[in-house]
Amino acid sequence: IKYLFNCLSQLSIVLQSQVKTVKISINSILNQSKLRELAKPVTVNQSLGHFISFSRQDILKVESHKMESIPHVDKAPEKYDTYEFKLPAIYEEIAAKALHENPSIRTQSLEQMREWIAKDPYIKKCRTDASFLIRFLRVKKYNVPAACALLQKYLINRQVYSPWFSKLDVSDPTMVKLLHDGFFIPLPDRDERGRQIIIYRFENLDSSKYTSTDVFRLQEMCYQTMFDDEESQIAGYVCVFDYSGMTMQHVAMFSLVDFRNFCSLVRKSVPIRITSLLVLNMPAFLQAFYEITMSIMQAKLRERFRLFKNIEDLKKEINVDIFPEEYGGKLKIKNIMSDFHKKIQAKREKILALDEMYIDIPKDMNGDWFQHDSNGNIEAGVIGSFRNAKMRHKIEENSYKFTLESSYKNFAFNHLHESDNIRSQSLTQLKEWIEKDLSIKRCRTDAVFLLRFLRLKKFNVPAAYASIKKYLTGFQLYSKWTSNLSVDEAPLIQLISAGVMVPLPDRDEEGRQIILYRLGAIDPDIHTAKDIYRLQALVYHVLFEDEETQISGFSYLVDFAGFTMRHVTMFDLLEFKNSAMGVKDMAGVRICKADVLHMSWLLQPFYEISMMMLSPKLRRRIKFFNNVQDFKESHTTGISKIFPSEYGGEKDLKALSTEFIKKMETRRDLIASLNDMYIEVPKHMKSEWYQLDKNQTIDAGITGSFRKLELD
């Protein structure tokens, strides 16, 4: 101990001499005669209460897992660190082709992201070192606003779900035991594409000892250990789920809500590129859940899944030589976990220091901020969003003045965090981003249009920007539903006149726009599903111009009276799902309330699946009524002055339909101008976005059409 103290003292003197870089070789120190003696076992006096033993091998191991320095969390430091690409040339080539990365874009993107962090009013403390920020940029392929939105979601969810993300300490006995059990196995060697392989081995998870929180915490701690590996940032991860030995006790560990939330967090707010998911030994009791999951998953994600019956099948997909012995490789799980444990220990303080980052979360946003994926199905397909370029075409651009009554202004401030100052700054920044985005060729930049997205995202500018790009992209990819909309389109006028979809002129007590759906009024002999989807696109675009609706949102009354099997067969399952996703993600509808009347038994299976996938907040907004009388009793005020007589009111349904048709007439030119907006859609998105034929069978085995449904 005396010799070690002397050595540390000499090192302290060297550091104090302001030498910028000091490299110490443990081997050279051990060659000194004094430390050779230290390398021998040394017993500390028993009065210290414990026994310590040093060996030459233990000291040598420190060289490969040195304790890492702790980055600061000052959001606007006086000086930022610089980045230097140090990986082999093969990774530079992958980064250029797959992530659109080059030194110029990397430098510009880091500067822009740091500037945004410094100016963001919610972020109080955040790492700004290049190693941290570049993981977000790479996962979003240098789409800076999307990377900013991802970082913001990451910071928020670290606090909202703190039991899973905070105080991740490798010295926690539970974490140590679960780690060494070999449930989560990060392989030390990479595959031929340079990817990090992770094995989830359920046979090694003791369901009687651990909870789902233990599992989630271990996974997060391990991922945080690997996130600094630039090879993985560039090449991505391969996850192998081995369900051998999985039982219903394992399933019972995870509540459906917690499992869905955690998967959503990993997908939407964790900077990780999972390029392949390999499933091995799927038990029969998980098959149904797997098929439902696959049926609602986008095509790109489905392509990343591979299902294998056994290890022999797995060997055909991937080289198992780098796997543990249990999979035909040469490694021992015990040794893998022991080495990875040392790697975590070297990053212990760095991981714990993540808890020092902080973002202000408005109370009403807890757990609900960024419920929609800021990048959604547009997976970073735009290169270099911030290169200098001027807007090629602009549609009318006006200065903005808030003209609504004070009740809406107060609501906007309390619920959307809108103030004159925030509104002005957000509009300026959003316009600037649109103007610099080379993929956006023509886009409205008037305040009413932009505020629609800013209010939807509660003035989170990166999320609003991403939402606009989803809107423009979806408008082109769903062209059969959105192109050449006209207020004179005969089938749509017929549907409104029949009362299929009627926006009521009077608002509810919360100032929300009420839309009445009477699905049983559809005539299957005259109208098609395409007519229904085009009707929705037309109606919503008329209503989106109302700032009252932008602020207060929508309320729905959906009546299934008269809805029969003939109506069901009108709709293709895949198209119906895409339409719902389009309304939620592309159109950006704020659903504040939904009352459902006369729910048909035909829709019960779809209702159960939908409710399982909805967030708790949305589920709480849906109420079901068996009849009109129950509906009337639940609304003690306002029904008589708002709703048609069929629902306990005094209004005439035909007159309400006619009134809305007249409103559409006043916005004829605006509807006609929708086709003027244009965004370049990457080729890979054109082929992947919802392009399945309506009678095509989804991979998971659920047929994408009801037209061939045979009834017994």
DSSP letter (8 states) at residue 113: H
Beta bridge partners of 623: 595
- All residue ranges of the chain with pLDDT < 50 are 13-64, 366-398, 686-712
Residue 467: its pLDDT value, please?
87
49 class by beta-carbon count within 10 Å (0-12 exposed, 13-18 middle, 19+ buried)? exposed
Structure tokens given for 654: 């035909």
379: three-class secondary structure by DSSP: coil
387: three-class secondary structure by DSSP: coil
DSSP letter (8 states) at residue 459: T
Distances (CA, A) of 132 to 103, 141, 532: 17, 15, 47
Q: Dump strand ranges (E) for 350-473.
A: 358-359, 393-395, 440-444
**From CA 487, how far away is CA 493, in angstroms rounded?**
8
Residue 554: its pLDDT value, please?
93
Residues 6 or more apart in contact with residue 12 via CB below 8 angstroms:
none
pLDDT tens digits, 276-304: 989 998 888 777 667 656 665 566 767 88
The Cβ of residue 289 has, within 10 Å, a number of other Cβ atoms equal to 12
Distances (CA, A) of 56 to 24, 52, 59, 343, 708: 16, 14, 5, 19, 74
N- to C-terminal Cα separation, the chain: 85
Nearest to 574 by CA among 405, 480, 694: 694
Nearest to 209 by CA among 182, 183, 178, 179: 178
Are the C-beta atoms of 412 and 551 separated by less than 8 Å? yes
In our burial notation (b when 16+ CB lie closer than 10 A, e otherwise), range 133-160 reads: bbbbbbbbbbbbbbbbbbbbbbbbbbbb
* Residue bearing tokens 């003292």: 9
Which amino acid, one-letter code, is at 236?
Answer: G
Are the C-beta atoms of 301 and 708 separated by less than 8 Å? no
* Residue bearing tokens 């808890």: 355
Residue 31: its pLDDT value, please?
39
Q: For helices 490-497 and 529-543, what crossing angle results, to 10°?
A: 80
Counting residues of the chain whose pLDDT is more than 70, the rounded percentage is 74
φ, ψ for residue 148, nearest 5 deg: -65, -45
Are the C-beta atoms of 164 and 216 separated by less than 8 Å? yes
**From CA 122, how far away is CA 681, in angstroms rounded?**
32
Long-range Cβ contacts of 455-459 (<8 Å, 24+ apart): 455/412, 455/416, 455/418, 455/550, 455/551, 456/550, 456/588, 456/590, 458/365, 458/369, 458/415, 458/416, 458/417, 459/416, 459/417, 459/418, 459/422, 459/423, 459/426
341 class by beta-carbon count within 10 Å (0-12 exposed, 13-18 middle, 19+ buried)? middle
Nearest to 355 by CA among 74, 131, 81, 155: 155
The Cβ of residue 322 has, within 10 Å, a number of other Cβ atoms equal to 17
| C-alpha triplet 287, 290, 294: angle, nearest 5° | 140
269 class by beta-carbon count within 10 Å (0-12 exposed, 13-18 middle, 19+ buried)? buried
Nearest to 575 by CA among 700, 695, 682, 472: 695
**From CA 80, how far away is CA 130, in angstroms rounded?**
8
Edge-to-edge order in the sheet of strand 440-444: 393-395, 440-444, 678-679
Residue 363: its pLDDT value, please?
60
DSSP letter (8 states) at residue 679: E
Distances (CA, A) of 215 to 176, 178, 206, 253, 273: 12, 8, 11, 10, 20
Residue 421: its pLDDT value, please?
82
Residue 10: its pLDDT value, please?
52
7 class by beta-carbon count within 10 Å (0-12 exposed, 13-18 middle, 19+ buried)? middle
Pairing, β 274-280 against β 305-308: parallel
40: three-class secondary structure by DSSP: coil
The half-sphere exposure of 658 on its side-chain side, counting CA atoms within 13 A, is: 5
**From CA 623, how far away is CA 634, in angstroms rounded?**
10
